[in-house]
Structure 1
Amino acid sequence: MTNFPIFDGHNDTLLRLHKSDDPPSFFEESSAGHIDFPRAKKGGFGGGFFAVYTPNENYEVEPEKYLTEDGYDMPLPPPINHERALTCTNALASRLFQLEASSQGRFKVVRTADELEYCLKHDVMAAIFHIEGAEAIDTNFDALHVLYQAGLRSLGIVWSRPNQYGEGVPFRYPSSPDTGAGLTDAGKALVRECNKLGIMIDTTHLNEKGFWDVARLTGAPLVATHSNAHALSPIARNLTDQQLSAITESNGVAGINYAVNMLREDGGLGTDISLDKIVRHVAYIAEKFGVDHVALGSDFDGTTVPDSLKDVTELPKLVDRLKAHGFRDNELQKITHGNWLRVLGETWK
Structure 2
Amino acid sequence: MSQAPLVPVFDGHNDTLLKLYMTQQADKEKLFMEGAPANWHIDLPRAKKGGFAGGMFAMFPPPVEEERPPKPVGASTMPGNDEPMAPRLSIDEARTSTLGMASILFRLERAGALTVCRSAADIRAAMARGSLAAVFHIEGAEAIDTDLAALDVLHAAGLRSLGIVWSRPNAFGHGVPFRFPASPDIGDGLTDAGKALVKACNRLKIQIDLSHLNEKGFRDVAALSDAPLVATHSNVHSISASARNLTDWQLGAIRDSKGMVGLNFATGFLDPRGSSDRKVGLDIMVRHVDALLEALGEDGVGFGSDFDGAGISDEIGDVAGLPNLIDALRKHGYGEELIEKIAWKNWVGMLERVIG
Q: TM-score interval w.r.t. the shorter chain? A: over 0.9
Instruction: From the superposition, tell whether residues 139 and 165 of structure 1 become closer, same or farther in structure 2 (CA, over 3 Å).
Output: same
Give the match for residue 340 of structure 2. 333
CA distance in 2, matches of 1:312, 1:116: 19
Structure 1: which 4+ aligned runs deviate by more than 2 Å?
A: 1-4, 59-73
Give the match for residue 17 of structure 1. 20
Match for residue 32 of structure 2 among 26, 36, 41: 26
Match for residue 212 of structure 1 among 200, 205, 219: 219
- Secondary structure, aligned partner of 1:130: strand
CA distance in 2, matches of 1:81, 1:272: 37
- Render the CA deviation track for 1:77-106: whole Å, top value 9, x for unaligned: 111111111111111100000000001xx5
Percentage of identical aligned residues: 51
Instruction: From the superposition, tell whether residues 60 and 295 of structure 1 become closer, same or farther in structure 2 (CA, over 3 Å).
Output: farther
Equivalent residue runs for 1:1-349 within 5 Å: 2=5, 4-22=7-25, 25-30=31-36, 31-59=38-66, 71-103=80-112, 106-349=113-356
CA distance in 1, matches of 2:285, 2:114: 28
Q: Given that residues 79 and 179 in structure 2 are in contact (C-alpha distance below 8 angstroms), is that contact kept between their aligned partners in structure 1?
A: no
TM-score, with normalisation over the residues of structure 2?
A: 0.93
Give the paired residue count: 347
CA distance in 2, matches of 1:59, 1:8: 31
Q: Which residue identity does 1:14 align to in structure 2?
A: L
Q: Given that residues 63 and 74 in structure 1 are in contact (C-alpha distance below 8 angstroms), is that contact kept between their aligned partners in structure 2?
A: no
**Per-residue deviation at 1:121?**
2.5
Q: Given that residues 59 and 77 in structure 1 are in contact (C-alpha distance below 8 angstroms), is that contact kept between their aligned partners in structure 2?
A: no
Q: Given that residues 43 and 315 in structure 1 are in contact (C-alpha distance below 8 angstroms), is that contact kept between their aligned partners in structure 2?
A: yes
Q: Which residue identity does 1:10 align to in structure 2?
A: H
| Aligned-CA RMSD value | 2.1
Q: Given that residues 15 and 306 in structure 2 are in contact (C-alpha distance below 8 angstroms), is that contact kept between their aligned partners in structure 1?
A: yes
- Render the CA deviation track for 1:135-182: whole Å, top value 9, x for unaligned: 110111110000000000000000000000000001000011111111
Structure 2: segments with no counterpart, 5+ residues:
none
Instruction: From the superposition, tell whether residues 337 and 143 of structure 1 become closer, same or farther in structure 2 (CA, over 3 Å).
Output: same
CA distance in 2, matches of 1:301, 1:253: 22
Instruction: From the superposition, tell whether residues 71 and 53 of structure 1 become closer, same or farther in structure 2 (CA, over 3 Å).
Output: same
Q: Which residue identity does 1:206 align to in structure 2?
A: L
- Secondary structure, aligned partner of 1:128: strand
TM-score, with normalisation over the residues of structure 1?
A: 0.95
Instruction: From the superposition, tell whether residues 220 and 282 of structure 1 become closer, same or farther in structure 2 (CA, over 3 Å).
Output: same
Q: Which residue identity does 1:276 align to in structure 2?
A: D
Q: Given that residues 301 and 346 in structure 2 are in contact (C-alpha distance below 8 angstroms), is that contact kept between their aligned partners in structure 1?
A: yes
Instruction: From the superposition, tell whether residues 348 and 135 of structure 1 become closer, same or farther in structure 2 (CA, over 3 Å).
Output: same
Q: Given that residues 259 and 305 in structure 1 are in contact (C-alpha distance below 8 angstroms), is that contact kept between their aligned partners in structure 2?
A: yes
Structure 1: segments with no counterpart, 5+ residues:
none
Instruction: From the superposition, tell whether residues 327 and 141 of structure 1 become closer, same or farther in structure 2 (CA, over 3 Å).
Output: same
- Secondary structure, aligned partner of 1:136: coil
Q: Given that residues 252 and 295 in structure 2 are in contact (C-alpha distance below 8 angstroms), is that contact kept between their aligned partners in structure 1?
A: no
Bigger Cα displacement from structure 2, 106-115 vs 19-28: 19-28
- Secondary structure, aligned partner of 2:246: coil
CA distance in 2, matches of 1:238, 1:64: 26
